[in-house]
């Protein structure tokens, strides 16, 4: 699946002796889509609304850079159509993990870049085939610290 999306997050974190721990909640729209034809059946899949909770742990370097790992739960709505066989949308739960780097820009603002991989636990049931869904995300974000 390829696409572009956007979203927002809110969280809480703390630093103790250069070690970081925190939690985040996220919501977003994921415009990734995929289409493929198999034996005359065209399957279209589009990721839509997603929300989740995750934890981040990492380390602070030079009091300015945070390098972290992330693991959490995500629930994503997928719209599916397979020619005239199946049509509809459904929510799937997944485990999301990855990592990133964040740096303070000025005052209470930071910027982050991260890569995450999501494995969805459910397979899409289409007559005659099983379709497992996973997702690679590269995200850029801006954070404001209260």
Length in residues, the chain: 146
pLDDT at 129 over 70: no
DSSP 97-140: EEEEEEEEEETTEEEEEEEEEEEEEEEEEETTEEEEEEEEEEEE
If one counts the domains in the chain, the total is 1
Using CB atoms within 10 Å of the CB of residue 51, give its burial: 0 to 12 exposed, 13 to 18 middle, 19+ buried: middle
Cα(21)–Cα(65) distance, rounded to whole angstroms? 14
Range of the domain at 130: 5-144
pTM reported for the whole predicted model: 0.85
Q: What is the CATH number of the domain that holds 17?
A: 2.40.160.20
Q: What is the pLDDT of residue 123?
A: 62
The sign one gets for the Cα dihedral 3, 6, 12, 13 is: positive
106 contacts 133 by C-beta, under 8 angstroms: no
Taking only the tens place, the pLDDT of each residue in 45-76 is 888 999 999 999 999 999 899 999 999 999 99
Instruction: Tell me the average pLDDT across 89-113.
Output: 93
């Amino acid at each position: 699946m390829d696409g572009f999306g956007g979203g927002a997050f809110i969280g809480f974190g703390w630093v103790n002796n250069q070690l970081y721990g925190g939690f985040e909640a996220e919501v977003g729209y994921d415009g990734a889509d995929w289409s493929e034809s198999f034996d005359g059946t065209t399957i279209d899949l589009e990721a839509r609304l997603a929300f989740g909770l995750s934890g981040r742990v990492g380390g602070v370097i030079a009091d300015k850079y945070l390098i972290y790992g992330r693991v959490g739960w995500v629930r994503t709505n997928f719209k599916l159509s397979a020619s005239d066989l199946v049509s509809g949308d459904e929510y799937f739960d997944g485990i999301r993990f990855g990592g990133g780097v964040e740096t303070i820009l000025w005052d209470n603002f930071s910027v982050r870049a991260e890569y995450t991989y999501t494995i969805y636990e459910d397979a899409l049931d289409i007559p005659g085939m099983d379709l497992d869904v996973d997702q690679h995300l590269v995200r850029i974000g801006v954070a404001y610290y209260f």
